[in-house]
Amino acid sequence: MNETLSGVVTRVTGASYIVETGDGLKVRCRTVPSTVSENEGANLVAVGDRVEFRLKASETDMAEGVIVRVEERRTSLVRRREVRRNRSKEKEQVIVANIDQLVLITSFDDPPFNSRLVDRYLVFAESEKLPLLIVVNKIDLDEEGMVEDDLEVYRELGCNICLVSAEDGRGIEELRELLRDRMSAFSGHSGVGKSTIINLLVGREELRTAETSNKTGKGVHTTTSSAMFPLPGGGYVIDTPGIREFNLSGITRENLRFYYTEFLRYMPECAFSSCSHTVEPGCAVIAAVESEAIDAGRYESYLALLDSLDE
């Protein structure tokens, strides 16, 4: 009864954590004052954490345990607070730990492909030093291959792109390969087919379970509501609440320029070292836009995003 087991936290509901082991055991765990954390200054347990736990006598149908140690996080997605509001050195709120990649689900149409949204995610992924996989769903609606017009700029940037149709199954096997043995955080705008894709990948039962507990969780002020699903071939899909959770508040008017990676090679040539690439004379980025070395749409999205950031 006292041996230590290890597993991954797949759900957080208040102070109760579901931990799953590699061989399919699901245990409802709690922490105790002696629980050791290898992550200082952050919340004790988040979805995606690797933990050591001990089983204890259970009074319910479900196995129960106590978390003895939370392992150091390789990566963490943090709910950022505004700096002004965080004078009191509050702890970081980690939403998901140990993510290997971000997966943005978009659709060719219905809703139409949204380059601005892709650009926001690219900035976010770059600032978090996480790879981004762009999945374009509903390619069954694209008989003429028009999506390539939208994707050209992202192909040139060297982005990871996967075209799929949850409707007719195209590309799903390729997507499975890209997800195998990794922890992937999914997000996307409503209606792009994210739930349909996750259902296909993990099996219907899993998602239905998640939806039920999400609903019951709503009334009790849970701070973390990401749901994590094991993939049959190994790895996990984490269904995250979307860009509003991963907000860009770590991005400032000063650092945004570094996250448009195609600007980087031109920036040293700008006349002013602090050039914002907007109005300055001798701006090499603007010159590169004019000579079409930098995509005009991407530059416009930079200006729009810059505009939306606080002074």
Ligand X SMILES: Nc1nc2c(ncn2[C@@H]2O[C@H](COP(=O)(O)OP(=O)(O)OP(=O)(O)O)[C@@H](O)[C@H]2O)c(=O)[nH]1
283 is in an annotated binding site: yes
Q: Least distance in Å: CB of 186 to ligand X?
A: 9
Binding partner at 39 among ligand X, Zn ion, none, C-beta below 5 to 8 Å by kind: none
Which one of residues 9, 70, 192, 294 is an interface residue with ligand X (CB under 6 A)? Answer: 192
257 part of the interface to ligand X, by CB under 6 A: no
Contact between 120 and Zn ion per CB under 5 A: no
DSSP code at position 307: H
Q: Whole-number minimum distance, CB 168 to ligand X, in Å? A: 7
- In the list Zn ion, ligand X, none, the entry touching 275 (Cβ below 5 to 8 angstroms by class) is Zn ion
Which is nearer to ligand X, 51 or 166 (by Cβ)? 166
Q: Work out whether 193 is an interface residue with ligand X (CB under 6 A).
A: yes
Strands (E), 71-194: 76-79, 93-97, 101-107, 132-137, 160-163, 183-188
190 is in an annotated binding site: yes
Which of 151, 166, 228, 288 binds ligand X (CB under 6 A)? It is: 166
Show the tokens assigned to 258: 């570094």
> Crossing angle for the helix pair 172-179 and 194-202, nearest 10 degrees?
70
Q: Is 101 in the site for ligand X (CB under 6 A)?
A: no
Determine the interface stretch with ligand X among 49-57, 133-141, 254-262, 288-296 (rule: CB under 6 A).
133-141
Residue 261, SS3?
helix
Query: What is the largest distance, in Å, between two alpha-carbon atoms of the chain?
Result: 72
Contact 124, 134 (CB under 8 A): no
Number of H helices, E strands in the chain: 7, 13
138 binds ligand X (CB under 6 A): yes
Using CB under 5 A, which of 47, 185, 231, 275 touches Zn ion?
Answer: 275
Instruction: Report the nearest approach of ligand X to the CB of residue 111 (Å).
Output: 9
HSE-up (13 A, CA, CB side) for residue 296: 3
Tell me if 104 sits within 8 A of 91, measured CB to CB.
no
Beta strands 76-79; 93-97: pairing state: antiparallel
The annotation status of 195 as a binding-site residue, yes or no, is yes
242: which 2 tokens?
A: 């979307």
Comparing C-alpha atoms, which of 10, 3, 50 is closest to residue 28?
10
Residue nearer to Zn ion on the CB measure, 63 or 287: 287
Which one of residues 50, 120, 194, 257 is an interface residue with ligand X (CB under 6 A)? 194
Q: Reduce the DSSP state of residue 125 to 3 states and report it.
A: helix
Rounded CA gap, 206 and 187, in Å?
Answer: 17
Q: Does 157 bind ligand X (CB under 6 A)?
A: no
| 256: contact with Zn ion by CB under 5 A | no
- Minimum gap (Å) between residue 284 Cβ and Zn ion: 6
Written as six digits, the tokens of 163 are: 């075209």
Among 92, 100, 126, 140, binds ligand X (CB under 6 A): 140
Mark out the alpha helices in the chain (DSSP H runs).
115-128, 147-156, 172-179, 194-202, 204-218, 284-290, 296-308
Residue (151 or 270) nearer to Zn ion, CB = 270
- Asked if residue 158 belongs to a known ligand binding site, the reply is no
Binding segment for ligand X among 13-21, 78-86, 134-142, 289-297 (CB under 6 A)? 134-142
Binding residues: 137-140, 188-196, 270, 275, 277, 283
Q: Which residues bind ligand X (CB under 6 A)?
A: 137-138, 140-141, 165-167, 188, 190-196
Q: Which residues bind Zn ion (CB under 5 A)?
A: 270, 275, 277, 283, 285
